[in-house]
Every structure is written in structure tokens, then in C-alpha cells.
Amino acid sequence: MKALDQFPTRPLSFGERERQCEELFRTRGPFYHLCTPGDSQLVLFETDDDFRFAMNLMASTLYEEPGINVITFEIMRTHLHVIGEGSIEAAERWFAKFRKKLYRFFQSNGIVKDLRFFRASIFPINDLAFLRNSIAYVNRNGYLVHPEYTPFSYPWGAGRYFFNPDAKQRYDITFHELTVRQKRAMFFSHSIECDGAANVVDGYISPDSFCDLYMGELYFRDARHYFSLVSRSVEGYKDIAQMLGDSVFYTDDELYLIVRQICRDRYGNARPEILTLDQKKEFARMLHYDYKASNKQIQRMLRIDERKLAVLFGK
């Protein structure tokens, strides 16, 4: 006779999984989305070495500030996104350290960066749906802006580790195995603050060693639920982007779906190329101002002459 623990357990129903997520959210928190201006013209990170330092700086400063529990983050060329749990005061203290040490890094390398506008805004997350959407929004940011990447390959953040056991298991060496010189080189500092058991991959501390990825995954019913949100049309995250002051980037495929839908709703057909010239001009203004589409994208979507776009938008 089989022991009781040998019998397969009954899979949880949709409702049971959802209630588990809701109960977890209720007993944890508070949660917030910390971000720096997404429409900033200041390029912070230009080379892979810049990004590697930023990844290591995330690890070391979070180690120094135990009051913040980071669920996920992404580092972009001009800005930073963090989904965290804990007090707003702890998040503010952490960001002040991050900013100060980033300034010293640029200064020590003879790089002039005006960080006066590198300021953090912190937005509370008050319900489970908003937390899920915020995690998905942050994790898809890197590959959405850089179409050469996928959800599993953008290296400068924690997004590629979500529901990806292979990425979590990958590392080159542990931090305590590095020499003192190697450790100082990673942090550009004689003072080394990091967990000795942390994994190092491609020259930086693996986010799996300092982010609460396991907890982040528990706010979704399962992996399929998470990836359904990550693969949502970018239009579904427009409200979050506007709240954060983030720039929304659309691939041609995403923009084309939006264009066809607007054509059906506004002009009664799904073919933008057969619109009248006046309709195309009206549509071009909408795409330019409401959807931040580039002139080249508008030209491709509407089959409109480049010179006419130059007249409309002064470039």
C-alpha cells in the first residue's frame, strides 16, 4: 500500500491560487514603484562596464540598507525602475546612497555627468492587480526598448530571472572566491559591502542573490499568468507609463495593431493606407503626440510622404 505522501496532490483551482496570491499581498508590504525620470535626456550608462557597475552598485547598496526588499528592477540607459517592499523612508535612504556612489564612480573615471535631475519618484502600490502590472511593466522594459533582446536576455536587471530556473542556477563564481583586488575592482571602492555567498555572473552580482525573486513570483497564479501579462500589448501599460513620466516605445508590430484598431473605430476601415490626406494628417498628429511614434514609424504606418510629415512636425 502506498504511503499517503506518494499520492499526487490535487492541483489548486484558479480560485484557490488567486486567493493564495491575495492573502500573500494582504500580509506583506507596503509596496511601491521607485523610478527616475524616464524622459530624461541624460544618458547615465553608455558602456557595458557602466551597466556592470550599476548592477554591482544595486547589490552593495541594498546590502547596506536592510529596510528595503527589492522584488525586481531594471536599469536603462537613462533611468532606473525598482519594485520594492518596505518603508518609503528606507527606499529614499537607499536611493540617496545609490546616487552618491554613482556620482563618485563617474567622477573617479573622469566622466562629467550632471546628476541634479537624477531624482527618484516613489509611487505606492495599493492593490494586487497594480503590483502584478507594475512587475510586468518593469520586467518588459529592457527588451521592449531594445528589440534585439527577449524577456530572457536583457542583462541589466532582474526580469530575465522570473520563472527562469536556468538563469537562477547560472553563475561563474561566488563572491567570497574572488580576490580582494577583484572585489574592489567590481565596486570601484576599497570598502566592500556584499554577501560573500552571492553569485557572480558576467562580472556582476547576480540579481538572484539580492532580489526576492521567489516572493515576486508568488504574486502570480503561475508562470503562464505572469507571461500573459509580460506579453500584453504595450497599449495596456500606457497608463502606468504616463503616471511614471516614462516614454512609451512601440514596436512596428504593436503600433500597427493600434493603428488598425483606431482606423476601424474612427474611420470605419482597417486599412490606414486608403485614408484621405486630411485623415492621414489628423491620424499622424495623434500618433505623434499621443503615442510618441517617430516620423519613420508614422511614414510606414500611414504611407504618407516624408515631406508632409516634416511640415506637420517641423522636422
Q: Are both 191 and 235 inside the same structural domain?
A: yes
- pLDDT attached to residue 190: 74
The amino acid sitting at 144 is L
Rounded to 5°, angle at Cα 189 from 184 and 191: 90
- pLDDT attached to residue 22: 96
H helices present in 28-127, as ranges: 48-64, 88-108
- For 271, the domain range is 252-313
Q: What is the mean pLDDT of residues 54-65?
A: 92
- pLDDT attached to residue 1: 44
End-to-end alpha carbon distance in the chain: 79
Query: Strands 173-174, 68-75: parallel, antiparallel or unpaired by DSSP?
Result: unpaired
pLDDT at residue 212 above 80?
Answer: yes
Q: Are both 50 and 163 inside the same structural domain?
A: yes
Q: Are both 262 and 193 inside the same structural domain?
A: no
Domain boundary among 244, 267, 284: 244
Domain boundary among 211, 244, 277: 244
Coil, strand or helix at 124: strand
Assess if residue 2 is contained within a domain. no
Q: Are both 168 and 305 inside the same structural domain?
A: no
CA distance 183 to 180: 5
Domain boundary among 197, 223, 244: 244
Picking from 2-6, 66-70, 92-96, 165-169, which range would have the lowest pLDDT averaged per residue? 2-6
pLDDT tens profile 69-96: 999 999 998 889 999 999 999 999 999 9
Assess if residue 3 is contained within a domain. no
Assess if residue 268 is contained within a domain. yes
- pLDDT attached to residue 247: 62
Q: Are both 188 and 64 inside the same structural domain?
A: yes
Q: In the numeric block, which cell numbers belong to residue 78?
A: 537613462
Q: Are both 157 and 290 inside the same structural domain?
A: no
pLDDT tens profile 134-149: 999 999 988 877 778 8
Q: Are 252 and 300 in contact (CB under 8 A)?
A: yes
Phi-psi region of 203 (alpha: psi -120 to 50; beta: other; left: phi over 0): left
Q: Are both 17 and 76 inside the same structural domain?
A: yes
Q: Are both 142 and 202 inside the same structural domain?
A: yes
Q: Are 187 and 101 in contact (CB under 8 A)?
A: no
**CATH code at 187?**
3.30.70.1290
pLDDT tens profile 98-140: 999 999 898 888 888 888 888 999 999 999 999 999 999 999 9
Q: What is the mean pLDDT of residues 229-243?
A: 75
The total of structural domains in the chain comes to 2
Assess if residue 6 is contained within a domain. no
